[in-house]
A and B are shown apart, each in its own frame.
Chain A
């Protein structure tokens, strides 16, 4: 039996010979992604994950882990396996040919006028 300074551990009468068995498949509950909203009207922000047996339990855990400090009004949880993602291998899809000035807001002629106006009015 383990004798610990923590009386709860001693009371639990844990055998020292306990061998740690390898985790079986599905030994862990699945994960849910947690989205937290600070105030009504704000966007929900992704804050992390929780393990849970069902969505209701995921909400319970998300509230304690991500909503108990600071301001909160709402939480979403989504099963991680129901989130679809792009591949990091395909991250080059975000690259864009830099010469397309017409796509950049900075490329518009009107910016010059705006800047001139700002300068004149000291905005």
Chain B
């Protein structure tokens, strides 16, 4: 078993989920309507739960426990994609990010359901239902907001354009890519990206939006190698504030 490769895979997944879960939770109490506020907050909790499960797998591989890992690292120790740390902005960008991220997340876990690393395969099967709901939610809002008014459609297209290159950064390759594929742990970022484009395209079309032209695709990489935007550090500080003050606090 290639432990360093597995750890790297688990860390990037756990960090993506933790950071996007935190960003989603920032909408709690501020959502567009009560019902959506509840749904979006509930998905934020799912994300944090999934990240906790991944941190627990890391703990079993000798890494620090989940809370220590989540709340005491500095921003430059995180390996989430920069995409998930960007501020929520308004509901257009948040919805587009939710849509692009959740399709990738669902496909990644689907691929991992057959992983040779059994604990991860087991987790992937366990979260299948949650992810199905998240994607159903994302598709519904993506299409509905894009088909609202001229203004809402224009805003969704702008949000998609702004999100796109950051979203491509989710598939930044690891130095262990070949080992992961050879050991049948994970089929690799390139395969995931292809599946992802295939999965999102029908909904982009249904929404009446357009992907940026392929010659303009320019992935914002770096997140997996601990390079981040200015937005991550304040988030990490806020997220870990209580834990840093009182590590023994019970929730």
Over the window 1-39 of chain A, the binary record of Cβ atoms lying under 8 Å from chain B Cβ atoms (1 yes, 0 no) is 000001111001000000000000000010000000000
Cβ contact within 8 Å between A57 and B42: no
Number of A-B residue pairs with CB-CB distance less than 8 Å in the complex they form: 37
Chain A residues near B218: list those with CB within 8 A. none
In A43-67, the 8 Å CB interface with B consists of: 50-54, 56-57, 60-61, 63-65
Complex-state Cα separation, A74 to B141, whole angstroms: 21
In this complex, how many residues of chain B approach chain A with their Cβ under 8 Å: the count is 17
Residues of chain B within 8 A of A51, CB atoms compared: 33-35
Given contacts A7-B238, A12-B30, A68-B42, contact A61 B35 (CB under 8 A): yes
Docked-complex contact B39 and A64, CB < 8 angstroms: yes
Near A by CB (< 8 A), chain B positions 17-69 give: 26, 29-30, 33-36, 38-39, 42
Q: Please encode chain B, from 124 to 151, with 1 for each CB lying within 8 Å of some chain A CB and 0 for all others.
A: 0000000001001100110010000000
Per the bound structure, the CA–CA distance linking A63 and B38 in Å amounts to 11
Q: How far is the CA of A53 from the CA of B36 in the complex (A)?
A: 11
Could you tell me the distance between the alpha carbons of A50 and B238 in the complex, rounded to whole angstroms?
33
Instruction: With A53-B144, A63-B133 as known contacts, state yes or no: A8 contacts B35, CB within 8 Å.
Output: no
Q: Which of B29, B38, B144 contacts A54 (CB 8 A)?
A: B144
Q: Which residue of A lies closest to B141 (CB)?
A: A57
- Shortest CB-to-CB span from A47 to chain B, Å, is 14
* Chain B residues engaging chain A, CB cutoff 8 angstroms: 26, 29-30, 33-36, 38-39, 42, 133, 136-137, 140-141, 144, 238
Chain A residues at the B interface, C-beta cutoff of 8 Å: 6-9, 12, 29, 50-54, 56-57, 60-61, 63-65, 68
